[in-house]
Amino acid sequence: MVTTYFCQDVPSAPGQKKGSPRMKSMGRRIDQIPWRLFGHGLVSRVILGYNPPTAIAEGVRMAGRLRGKVAIVTGASRGIGRAISVALGAEGATAVLAARAGDELAKTAEQVGDAGGKAEIVCTELTDETSIRRLVETTSQRFGRLDILVNNAGITHSASLEETRTEDLDRCWTVNARAPFILCREALPLLKQAERATIVNISSVVGVKGYPLQSAYTASKHALRGMSISLAEELRGTNVRVHVICPGGVDTEMVSRVRPDIAKGELIGPGEIAELVVYLVTHQGNGVLDELHIRRATSAPWFVG
């Protein structure tokens, strides 16, 4: 049985977010400085024995590694968030599904159940701090623990900077940067009680570079990535790890709206991002992947050009 919380308070709304196994990883030892900077360069550290395609493929077969764990996933009503929720459920986690659209969350919950997992629906308005707090409080009251937080929800806006209204900027900023900031802050006391906890923030290729007509979206995703870097430093040496995934174009409704020029067959699958999240939250070694850059196979390597 799936319990649904607070959906009557939150109006249904469209849209969500942003991906291929061509990836650039930022790795370090657990005792090293997160996102260690030397001059202007971000140093990539090798994790010995880590083969991404092999590790991911084996991870999919090794179901049950998250049994007993509880995960909050925002933007869980569709796209990447739905895929992440199902993948975590398949590993035995209970997925607390957060978004505004209760009917779409119910579909996600059904898929989590079909994968062998458990789901709880908490309809959440991420522009409302009270609603965000209620998400954490409900999770704490219902399960008494939180092991994984995935800040996935996101919105975009396409316009030149001159044509971007302040309310458009505020909307991107509120959902993409402010909400994850508040949710991390509110969830940290519960995360710190876990033996080992993980925060995964889904940024974007525009969190690393910029595209024309996406200044508001780019600013918000840079902010999310910057907050993650600072938080990782604050939590260094604790039981909580912070990771960022920066995908290129993923096969979602949002990308199809803003990038109709990209052929659907070239887009990254939401399941590919979900597989990487599962790897990050199950990796137990001393090597830490701070950040993953995921691009379409047909796009420029290393997010250049």
**C-alpha span between 185 and 275 (Å, rounded):** 26
Compute, in degrees rounded to 10, the torsion defined by CA atoms 84, 301, 30, 203: -40
Question: Would you say the pTM of this structure is higher than 0.75?
Answer: yes
Instruction: State the pLDDT at residue 125.
Output: 97
Asked if the model's pLDDT at residue 79 lies above 60, the reply is yes
Q: Which domains does the chain have, with CATH numbers?
A: 4-303 (3.40.50.720)
Tokens of 62: 């090794």
Per-residue confidence at 296, pLDDT binned at 50, 70, 90? confident
Helix (H, G, I), strand (E, B) or coil at 119: strand
Asked if the model's pLDDT at residue 215 lies above 90, the reply is yes
Q: Which residue has the higher pLDDT, 213 or 38?
A: 213
Instruction: State the pLDDT at residue 7.
Output: 77
Sign of CA dihedral 246, 249, 252, 256: positive
- Per-residue pLDDT tens digits for 6-63: 775 554 443 444 333 334 445 565 656 565 443 322 322 222 223 333 334 444 445 7
- Per-residue pLDDT tens digits for 143-193: 999 999 999 999 989 999 999 999 999 999 999 999 999 999 999 999 999
Helix (H, G, I), strand (E, B) or coil at 16: coil
Of 5, 50, 211, 217, the active-site residue reads: 217
Known catalytic residue: 50? Answer: no
- Per-residue pLDDT tens digits for 231-277: 999 999 999 999 999 988 776 767 667 677 777 776 788 889 999 99
**C-alpha span between 280 and 15 (Å, rounded):** 26
Calculate the CA 160 to chain-centre distance. 27
Instruction: State the pLDDT at residue 295.
Output: 83
Q: Which residue has the higher pLDDT, 114 or 301?
A: 114
Instruction: State the pLDDT at residue 57.
Output: 40
In Å, what is the CA distance from 193 to each residue of 74, 145, 182, 231, 238? Answer: 21, 7, 18, 17, 11
